[in-house]
Amino acid sequence: MSGIVAVFRRDGRPVEAGEVERMLAAVPECSVDGQSAWVAGEVGLGHQRFWVLPEEMGEVQPLFDAEIGCVLVADLRLDNRGQLLRELAVTGDDAALWSDARLLLAGYLRWGQACVERLMGDFAFVLWDEREKRLFAARDPMGARGLSYHLSDGVALLASNVEQLLAHGAFAARLNESRVVDLLTMDWSDQAATFYRDVLDLVPGATLTVTATRAEVREFCDLLPVKRLRYRDQRNYAEHYRELVTEAVACRLRSTGRIGLSLSGGLDSTLLAAIAAPMVPQGGGASGLQCYSYAFERHPSCDERPFIEPLVAHLGVGSRYAWCDDLWTLRDADRWPVHRDYVLTDPYAWLPQAVNRLASQDGCRVLLGGYYGDVLTAGSREWAAGMAADGRLGELTVELWKNRSLPVWAGAARSLGRAMLPLWIDRLRRRPARRRGESQPALDRRLVGAADRVNSRRGFHRHLRLACFTQGPASVRRTYHALGLEPLSPYEDRRLVEFVLAIPADQLGRPGDGNDRRIHREAARGLLPEPIRSRKDRTSFLALLREGLFDREAATVARLLARPRIVDMGQVAAVWLETHPPTASLPVEDLEVLWLCLCLEMWLRKFW
């Protein structure tokens, strides 16, 4: 696993070893087990090693095929190893020795670029085909592994991290101001755009082919199921959901080290713990799963131990607490995580780092997390349109009659309106008339068109594919690698996402008491203690944000808002900051906007 970089001199000039080395050195955290580079003529590839999977122990990339002249660097975990081994006729003891990268290279030699359609799992890779004088790259449909690129007539650069591209020196960093607007308006619909005008993200589920004279992006998977899934027995939806979550967890337990889990008291990580505990044996019937959680004494509203401790005892798993009372927002402001490639906006960034340090001390290599779990059930907002589209008008009428409240009826009206809104009006609503950065418009149109085929579900499909769900984690991943950890999110499994897109939206949740996150709660029945499974509230760490901004770090906030760059650049109106001062009386919605402004200000001051 870990990082990859590539340089292709399209003008035919030879690549120098120093070019690849500079890119690798830009993000040293990813070279957990070393790094290596290969340079030949107009091409150079580099790989940062982090041996997480047993089959990759000792493997040094790039991998070569001497006969045909293909060279590969890959950051991947393949979940369908068995199927690929059979299709490639790899049998016997040799099969256990084949790494996922070796399987990928063999698949390319057998099927060519179509090999990506046979891969299941998390992957990003770059392959040089000497026969065709062609660079070929791909990214998995969920975007679980980062891959960004810069293209010009003279050179093509690819890397796991934007900062590695910037380190090459082939182009000057230019701010993509339209992406800054995306941040402030929380519009992450453009999957390809980055904060740099000359850098693009390879869209999840797409390939990039580059030759000396041509560059092409091709989509190979948009996650939309061909058929809708309908069960006569309503219980089958939750059973199928649980099976897929179980499979997703099992696929992520291949590790050379201990398995850890970041455990909260919410629905997502607790279900993962219940499923993973019996799969991680220690001996004597005990589980080897180790859980790590936040704990608070001074901020009881943030503390979830009343939910965590009964579950840990019930599952018989190990548990450690990271004490977080003093990890308020902007503490140690001079060390606050500000990355060059992406504007991080997590106001509680010290909390996961505290957990990660404990997991690293215990020798964990994999740290499971419930990230993206609640995103999967966001499609429940389309419950009314889904019922109407399926012809279940009588059931829809009964549901509305049972829940005679303004919020429920207004939500149903919005859902039905989104489904019936003419396509051209919908596009005008979603795409304001302002210049955007380069963003592969042809590919973007195909993605929009694919989403529009599902009527009421097109908004849910777009939501699942927002760039913030891939670009943010790709940037933060380096902080895990610095501690020898690989973060893995079972809820980001492609099979699970395709499933929730195929089922009726009301199976994800309906209005009414106890029906939010309906399918998840039903899948957890019998696995989680009832107080957790039926929990309605969500823990908020807002107390840490308020303490940091309005008390402990008030001087830091005042310094950031004195002659702010965001005002000088015209991104934020001075009058808004003047009328929304950082005081304890600031409403939550305005506080969130203020925090975005502070994050952007810190980023601009550090890198621009």
Residue, of 94 and 82, whose pLDDT is higher: 82
User: Tell me, what DSSP letter sits at residue 196?
Assistant: B
Reported residue count of the chain is: 608
Mean pLDDT value across the chain: 91
Q: Are 72 and 125 in contact (CB under 8 A)?
A: yes
β pairing state of 43-48 and 4-9:
antiparallel
Nearest to 384 by CA among 549, 472, 509: 509
Give the H or E element holding residue 201: strand 200-201
Give the H or E element holding residue 605: helix 588-607
Contacts of residue 423, Cβ cutoff 8 Å, sequence gap at least 6: 452
Q: What does the alpha-carbon distance between residue 409 and residue 405 come to, in Å, rounded to a whole number?
A: 6
For residue 252 the two structure tokens come to 């992520």
User: Tell me, what DSSP letter sits at residue 369?
Assistant: -
pLDDT higher than threshold 50 for residue 72: yes
Q: What does the alpha-carbon distance between residue 4 and residue 429 come to, in Å, rounded to a whole number?
A: 38
Phi/psi zone of residue 363: left (φ > 0), alpha (ψ -120 to 50 degrees), beta? left
Give the H or E element holding residue 295: strand 290-295
pLDDT higher than threshold 60 for residue 445: no
Q: How far is CA 342 from CA 31, 247, 336, 607, in A?
A: 20, 32, 14, 11
Predicted pLDDT at 314:
93
Predicted pLDDT at 282:
84
For the chain, the C-alpha Rg in angstroms (whole number) is 24
Predicted pLDDT at 416:
82
The reply to whether omega before 62 is within 30° of 0 (cis) is: yes
For residue 587 the two structure tokens come to 């409403």
Q: What are the pLDDT digits (tens) for 264-300?
A: 999 999 999 999 999 998 866 667 999 999 999 999 9
Greatest CA separation found in the chain?
72
Q: What does the alpha-carbon distance between residue 404 and residue 579 come to, in Å, rounded to a whole number?
A: 39
Q: What does the alpha-carbon distance between residue 340 and residue 250 come to, in Å, rounded to a whole number?
A: 34
Q: Are 55 and 100 in contact (CB under 8 A)?
A: yes
Q: What is the three-class DSSP state of 443?
A: helix
Lookup result for tokens 């201990």: 258
Nearest to 46 by CA among 211, 158, 149, 139: 158
Q: From the CB of residue 284, how many other CB atoms can be counted at a distance below 10 Å?
A: 5
Residue, of 554 and 417, whose pLDDT is higher: 554
Q: What does the alpha-carbon distance between residue 346 and residue 592 come to, in Å, rounded to a whole number?
A: 11
Q: From the CB of residue 503, how many other CB atoms can be counted at a distance below 10 Å?
A: 21
3-state helix, strand, coil in the chain (%, to 5): 45, 15, 40
For residue 482 the two structure tokens come to 């610095």
Phi, psi at 57, each rounded to 5°: -55, 125
Q: What are the pLDDT digits (tens) for 558-571?
A: 999 999 999 999 99
Predicted pLDDT at 388:
86
Question: Pseudo-torsion of CA 451, 457, 461, 463, nearest 10°?
Answer: 130
Is the pTM above the cut of 0.85?
yes
Q: Are 320 and 291 in contact (CB under 8 A)?
A: yes
pLDDT higher than threshold 90 for residue 577: yes
Q: What does the alpha-carbon distance between residue 77 and residue 454 come to, in Å, rounded to a whole number?
A: 30
Nearest to 600 by CA among 554, 575, 568, 578: 568
Q: What is the three-class DSSP state of 564?
A: coil
Question: How large a percentage of the chain has pLDDT more than 70?
Answer: 92
Q: How confident is the model at residue 253 (pLDDT cuts 50, 70, 90)?
A: very high
Q: What are the pLDDT digits (tens) for 347-379?
A: 999 999 999 999 999 999 999 999 999 999 888
Cα distance between the two ends of the chain: 32
Contacts of residue 52, Cβ cutoff 8 Å, sequence gap at least 6: 1, 77, 254, 255, 256, 257, 365, 366, 486
Q: How many helices (H) and strands (E) does the chain have?
A: 27, 19
β pairing state of 43-48 and 35-40:
antiparallel
Q: How wide is the angle at C-alpha 591 spanned by C-alphas 471 and 571, nearest 5°?
A: 60
pLDDT higher than threshold 70 for residue 447: no
Q: Are 490 and 419 in contact (CB under 8 A)?
A: no
pLDDT higher than threshold 70 for residue 438: no
Q: Are 193 and 182 in contact (CB under 8 A)?
A: yes
In order, the DSSP letters of 496-518 are HHHHHHHS-HHHH--SSTT-TTH
Q: What does the alpha-carbon distance between residue 268 and residue 255 come to, in Å, rounded to a whole number?
A: 22
pLDDT higher than threshold 60 for residue 424: no
Of 94-98, 118-122, 177-181, 413-417, give the lowest mean pLDDT range.
Answer: 413-417
Q: Are 317 and 278 in contact (CB under 8 A)?
A: no
Q: What are the pLDDT digits (tens) for 542-561?
A: 999 999 999 999 999 999 99
